Amino acid sequence: MSAAPKVVARAPAPSTRFKILLFIPNLQQGGAERQILELMTKLPSRFETTLCVYEDVVHYRDYLPPGEPRHVLGTPRMGRQGLARLVDVLERERPDIVHSYRDKANFWVRLAVSRLAARKGADASALPIVVTAVRSRAMSLRHLSTEWYLSRRSDRVIANSEGVRRELVSLARVRPEKIQVLHNFIDLDRFHPPTPAERAAARAHWGLRDGEVALLLPGRIGIQKHQMGLAVALRRLARAGRLGDNVRVLLAGRKRDRTYASLLPRMLEVLGLTKAVTFLGSVEEMVPLYHAADALLMPSLWEGLPNAVLEGHACGLPAVVSHAANIDRLVLDGESGFEVPTFDHPALAEALGRMIALEDAERRAMGARGRAHLAEQFGPDRVLSETVRLYDDLLSAKGRA
């Protein structure tokens, strides 16, 4: 992966505090939304964080610091009114750094800083350092076609995975030296393997019987997560006599693509899989669900760095993933789970069959290896230190530290 240019950072004085404005469309259930809140709670106290959203939708209330989000622009779509309000927020807050998450927020925050620059004229000291975070692959055509130009207005573009970095360079034509890969946070205390009592309680809550093998696909119902491809693979297993009555597939997530979400149950009915697949909808607290499951599934057609794989592995679940969901090698093929080629339904069926056929102890051993791998390669302390170093480097380069 390409590293961002190295800048020698000067250690800030202990009394120095820097204001960070974090901007995201909303706080609905999703990986980027939880990551921005993880960052708020983990940054050292010398960084004063403020949260700005433009739509008042909050899912992760237990993560929110008191008084946040401090700024709600009050518009489901930005447009001229939302842009004007964002410029006003920037002018009032005067942050040292504005750090946006998700393509829509990245688009609007750079326009807002440009608008603020027009107000301030040549006073560059009144402008914040701009950090934009791209969290997933398959950007919309509008954002893909404008990123090459707007990235010039970012001091750094953050990719959360190697797959996102490659797409930014090859499709959005962002200069490689502008990009830095920073992986997602994973709280290894919050997401932990269950005790026997926790597992028993979780399985009882979700109605899982003794001997039942629960395969969990956590993610919004939509094209990206490829639930229909999973259905095709399950049908192949059923025809081969390898999908027993003891196998239960759990789909946990909101309906992202309405047409897709309406067609999926009909497809399952046609394939004779209705009894094997359960829709759980949006789940508020995922840890008990991970504790109840036996394995995690992620057959996505594209991904950035899938939080659900991080969380499931941290909870001791082995995983079956597509290559698209595993570009950063979260899952070690054959050791902590199985990787299959993206959109290869026969290979997916075979991997599912292998996972189902394992003994409970074998699956638990796989999951334990997965958690150990995450702790070593993707631990929260490393991600936090890299983020703080990025902020300090940018502040130093602008002469503010």
Tens-place pLDDT, residues 66-83? 899 999 999 888 899 999
Task: Tell me the whole-structure pTM to 2 decimals.
Answer: 0.83
191 occurs within a structural domain: no
Partners of 158 in the β-ladder: 133, 180
What rounded mean pLDDT belongs to the chain?
92
Domains identified in the chain, total number: 2
- Asked whether residue 218 falls in the same domain as residue 147, the answer is no
230 occurs within a structural domain: yes
Residue that has been written with the tokens 């909050």 in this structure: 58
Least confident of 33-42, 169-178, 194-203, 352-361: 33-42
Query: What is d(CA 55, CA 379) in angstroms, rounded to the nearest whole number?
Result: 31
Helices 380-397/31-42 angle, 10° precision: 70
Please say whether the beta carbons of 236 and 346 come within 8 A.
Answer: yes
No. of helices (H) and no. of strands (E), the chain:
13, 13
10 occurs within a structural domain: no
Q: Per residue in 341-392, pLDDT tens?
A: 999 999 999 999 999 999 999 999 999 999 999 999 888 899 999 999 999 9
Structural domain boundaries, residue 309: 196-377
Q: What is the domain-level CATH number for residue 252?
A: 3.40.50.2000
Q: Per residue in 229-283, pLDDT tens?
A: 999 999 999 999 999 999 999 999 998 889 999 999 999 999 999 999 999 999 9
Q: What does 94-110 look like in DSSP terms, one character per residue?
A: --SEEEEESHHHHHHHH
- Asked whether residue 263 falls in the same domain as residue 387, the answer is no
- Asked whether residue 172 falls in the same domain as residue 205, the answer is no
13 occurs within a structural domain: no
pLDDT at position 60:
80
pLDDT at position 15:
54
Query: What is d(CA 156, CA 225) in angstroms, rounded to the nearest whole number?
Result: 29
- Asked whether residue 217 falls in the same domain as residue 298, the answer is yes
- Asked whether residue 373 falls in the same domain as residue 263, the answer is yes
Helices 31-42/307-314 angle, 10° precision: 70
Beta pairing class for 156-159 and 179-181:
parallel
6 occurs within a structural domain: no
- Asked whether residue 299 falls in the same domain as residue 335, the answer is yes
- Per-residue HEC secondary structure of 228-288 comes to HHHHHHHHHHHHCCCCCCCEEEEEECCECCHHHHHHHHHHHHHCCCCCCEEEEECCCCCHH
- Asked whether residue 312 falls in the same domain as residue 275, the answer is yes
Partners of 157 in the β-ladder: 132, 179
Name the residue type at position 3: A
